[in-house]
A and B are shown apart, each in its own frame.
Chain A
Amino acid sequence: MIKIQKKVILIGNFSVGKTSLIKRFVENSFSDDYISTIGVKISKKNVQIYDQKATLLIWDIEGATKIKPINTIYARGAHGAIIVIDVQDKKYPEQIKEHIRICNSVVKEIPSVLVFNKIDLEPDFRANIEELKSQYPQIKGSFYTSAKTGEEVEEMFFKIAKEIK
């Protein structure tokens, strides 16, 4: 067993690509059979940051829809958060604020990264997030990823791993 483990949560609306991002990144995860039953999928990834090994336990919390909010109990005790947005979603600032609000209601301001996924669909997309960053110092970075091509996926996970320590 690796001596250091950290819990990372992935939050974002339904169908933004959370599960696909994890599939890109991890070697090991439980099958999807039960995710529809209990609403969370857990995966594991061992990472090395500088000279320190750590195990990330990544909780892919089934996404929010209008009728069903995310199950906040799964965010308890998390050490880091990945907030996933679909680049096609033009209302992203409100979405981000909402996710951070939910997160902060369960855990104390944990390091978070913003992820704009499906960049392959709108390669020129750039988000305006300076204001958000100054409003929420817990945002430690932002990435433009594609679970389809793999672009920036690894970088994003390593960033959050680094920020947690």
Chain B
Amino acid sequence: MSEELKRLKNLILEEEINSIAQLKKRIAILEEESNNKEKVIDALYPIMGNMISRYVGESFKDFMYDLNEKMKLMVFIKAFIRKIKAKFLGISEIELLLKDSLIVRIDTIFLIHKESGLLMIDLYRDHTTKIKEPEMVASMLSAIRSFVNEWVAENTKMGEVNTIEYGNSSIYIESAGSCYLAVVMRGTPEFMVKNKISKVLEYIIEIFGYQIGKFDGDITKLDIKEISTTLLTLFDIKENHKKTKGKIPFLSKLVLFILFLIPTFWFIQEYRENLVIEKKRDIFIDNLKDVKIYDMEISKLKNNKISVNGFVMSDNDLENLNFKLQNSRLKIKNRVTSIESSLVTTQIQKEVDKSIKIFNKIEGSDIEYKFDNSLKYISIKGIVADKKRKNSLISIIKNIYGLENFNFQIETLPIFEKQIYFDNNEFKIKDKYKILLDKYAKIMLQYTQYYVRITGYTNEIGSTLVNKKLSLNRAEMVKEELVKRGINRDKFILDSVASEPKEILILSTKKQKELSRCVIFSWELIKK
């Protein structure tokens, strides 16, 4: 402990003059309570946030370092505004709570290799959220993460650290497999956002986990485009923010503002009193463990009682909570409600919808769903490119909270297993391929939403120009055969290569030459 305090002191000596006063105050608190480990962590966070923000460019300057105390006061004000909003807009407070929890705006996404701290992908909402020196920021985040996790593991009972808050922003860290996502956002992530982020990462690990595990610093070995497409869906969370905002009429805003000014003083008083309650709250939270209460508020009642407000995700959790409170010695009045029923109607639908949307952005996916609220039933129908994706889709849907009955009818695209081979310098199709062409035509008629790429190859003898023409002729001949079998002319993409296909194994040079005179079929997964 005294080692940590020394380190912090060093930091003060090097800091700019204006932050010295603030840091000194922190150290004073620290030394006073040096037996309270959580306090030390609290003190470390803003410093780290500050360290990061100093190097990540203009876009972060707005969200500079604030004191934790200020943040806590904000929570009270937020709760008050919500109550008034509910009155004015005539919607239930729970609905507003749910919307509140979605008010975050994701600005930046980093996919980082866990072991080395190297940056694999960086994505930005727009040019204003660009970060200078992203590779360095990624490495530094990794260093901080390691440091804090190690320190926390050694000194406290808390789990892995996953949020670094600073000012109005936070960096949320979700780790899985051999990588982690660092998501920079305005606001603090709540359940729904965290859930979404973990789903997306889960999907990435499932499909790209192997290549990420083998990452050696060479980005060209990753399927950057596909991984990015998946990650980009996270920026959609921003839209919820806009919608909520748009619904509040101007007049209400004005009234809200005036109402807000009057009781500020009262709130500060109230806040002071609540410091006393904090100790009780800590014990209470310690007791909770597996029950998670969202937007929890604790207030003081008469004769030293306290009451707890908030909501839990399921009726089961509520029962569990009641049971725990009855068996504890704390005098706590339970005003927590379960939002299971309202969850089913709104949030599940949204979750399902988003998950399916993510999936349909992946190349080759074409999925539809039907959702029956009363039965908690979902049926999913459609096509995905391969088995891996099918399994991942099923696991993602099955993990959506609140769904109970499933019906999956998911096909994977058939593979064009065989090629068509040609004689030397020929592009005439041999009769023996008729059956194969019939079969391929049948497949194409079944999946008319996709295109088929037909690539002609030649051996590597002779001039490139001649070979290129020859391989194109071969591809065209095959196309014509399929057109004769009823396929629309513009369902094809033709390609010609003046060399042997990479897929062919080198057996013997003679055999290789024969095998390289061919046409290969593949799905063109981009829907047009």
Chain A positions within 8 Å of B, measured between CB atoms, are: 1, 3-7, 28-34, 36-40, 42-44, 54-55, 57, 59, 71, 73-74, 76-79
A4 close to B11 (CB less than 8 A): no
Docked complex Cα distance between A1 and B137 (Å):
13
Name the interface residues of B88-145: CB closer than 8 Å to any CB of A. 113-119, 122, 133-136, 139-140, 143-144
Q: A residues within 8 A CB of B140? A: 30, 42
Question: B141-167: contact bitstring with A at CB < 8 Å (1 yes, 0 no)?
Answer: 001101100100000000000000000
Docked complex Cα distance between A26 and B150 (Å):
29
Docked complex Cα distance between A54 and B217 (Å):
9
A34 close to B51 (CB less than 8 A): yes
Task: Say whether B55 faces chain A, with CB atoms less than 8 Å apart.
Answer: yes
Name the interface residues of B35-55: CB closer than 8 Å to any CB of A. 44, 47-48, 51, 54-55
Docked complex Cα distance between A33 and B16 (Å):
10
B217 close to A36 (CB less than 8 A): no
Task: Say whether B15 faces chain A, with CB atoms less than 8 Å apart.
Answer: yes
Q: B residues within 8 A CB of A32? A: 14
Task: Say whether B269 faces chain A, with CB atoms less than 8 Å apart.
Answer: no
Given the contacts A36-B7, A36-B10, A55-B135, A79 and B47 also touching, CB distance less than 8 Å: no
A7 close to B117 (CB less than 8 A): yes
Given the contacts A32-B14, A74-B143, A57 and B136 also touching, CB distance less than 8 Å: yes
* A-B pairs with lowest CB-CB distance, top 3: A77-B115, A77-B116, A36-B10
B119 close to A79 (CB less than 8 A): no
B135 close to A57 (CB less than 8 A): yes
For A33, give the chain B residue with the smallest CB separation. Answer: B14
Interface range on chain B: under 10, 10 to 19, 20 to 34, or 35 or more?
A: 35 or more
* Given A42-B139, A57-B139; 11 other pairs, CB 8 A cutoff: A5-B118, A7-B116, A7-B139, A33-B11, A36-B14, A37-B11, A40-B143, A57-B118, A71-B147, A77-B116, A77-B117
Q: A residues within 8 A CB of B372? A: none
A37 close to B7 (CB less than 8 A): yes
CB < 8 Å neighbour of B11 from A36, A42, A54: A36
For A4, give the chain B residue with the smallest CB separation. Answer: B218
Q: A residues within 8 A CB of B144? A: 38
Given the contacts A5-B118, A78-B116, A42 and B217 also touching, CB distance less than 8 Å: no
Q: A residues within 8 A CB of B44? A: 37
Question: B469-505: contact bitstring with A at CB < 8 Å (1 yes, 0 no)?
Answer: 0000000000000000000000000000000000000
5 pairs of residues in contact across A and B, judged by CB atoms under 8 Å: A30-B140, A33-B14, A39-B147, A73-B147, A79-B217
Q: B residues within 8 A CB of A57? A: 117-118, 135-136, 139
Q: B residues within 8 A CB of A36? A: 7, 10-11, 14
Q: B residues within 8 A CB of A74? A: 143, 146
A1 close to B119 (CB less than 8 A): yes
Docked complex Cα distance between A78 and B55 (Å):
23
Docked complex Cα distance between A160 and B111 (Å):
26
Task: Say whether B219 faces chain A, with CB atoms less than 8 Å apart.
Answer: yes
CB < 8 Å neighbour of B139 from A39, A54, A59, A79: A59
Q: B residues within 8 A CB of A40? A: 143, 147
Given the contacts A36-B11, A37-B8, A55-B135, A1 and B118 also touching, CB distance less than 8 Å: no
Of B15, B44, B147, most buried by chain A (CB within 10 Å of CB) is: B147
B116 close to A79 (CB less than 8 A): yes
Given the contacts A7-B118, A57-B139, A74-B146, A33 and B51 also touching, CB distance less than 8 Å: yes
Docked complex Cα distance between A59 and B467 (Å):
52
Given the contacts A36-B10, A38-B147, A42-B140, A1 and B135 also touching, CB distance less than 8 Å: yes
**Measured between C-beta atoms, what is the minimum distance from A98 to chain B in Å?**
21
Q: A residues within 8 A CB of B147? A: 38-40, 71, 73
CB < 8 Å neighbour of B55 from A4, A6, A30, A55: A30
Given the contacts A34-B51, A38-B147, A44 and B136 also touching, CB distance less than 8 Å: yes
For A164, give the chain B residue with the smallest CB separation. Answer: B217
Task: Say whether B216 faces chain A, with CB atoms less than 8 Å apart.
Answer: yes
A28 close to B146 (CB less than 8 A): no
For A42, give the chain B residue with the smallest CB separation. Answer: B139
B8 close to A77 (CB less than 8 A): no
Docked complex Cα distance between A7 and B119 (Å):
11
B119 close to A5 (CB less than 8 A): yes
For B3, give the chain A residue with the smallest CB separation. Answer: A68
Task: Say whether B220 faces chain A, with CB atoms less than 8 Å apart.
Answer: yes
B11 close to A59 (CB less than 8 A): no
Q: A residues within 8 A CB of B117? A: 7, 57, 77
CB < 8 Å neighbour of B217 from A7, A34, A39, A71: A7
Q: B residues within 8 A CB of A38? A: 143-144, 147
Q: B residues within 8 A CB of A43? A: 136
Docked complex Cα distance between A55 and B30 (Å):
40
Docked complex Cα distance between A67 and B133 (Å):
35
Q: B residues within 8 A CB of A79? A: 116, 216-217
Q: A residues within 8 A CB of B134? A: 1
Docked complex Cα distance between A143 and B490 (Å):
64
Of B47, B51, B217, most buried by chain A (CB within 10 Å of CB) is: B217
Q: A residues within 8 A CB of B136? A: 28-30, 42-44, 57
Docked complex Cα distance between A59 and B140 (Å):
9
Given the contacts A33-B14, A73-B150, A5 and B8 also touching, CB distance less than 8 Å: no
**Measured between C-beta atoms, what is the minimum distance from A137 to chain B in Å?**
20
**Measured between C-beta atoms, what is the minimum distance from B386 to chain A in Å?**
27
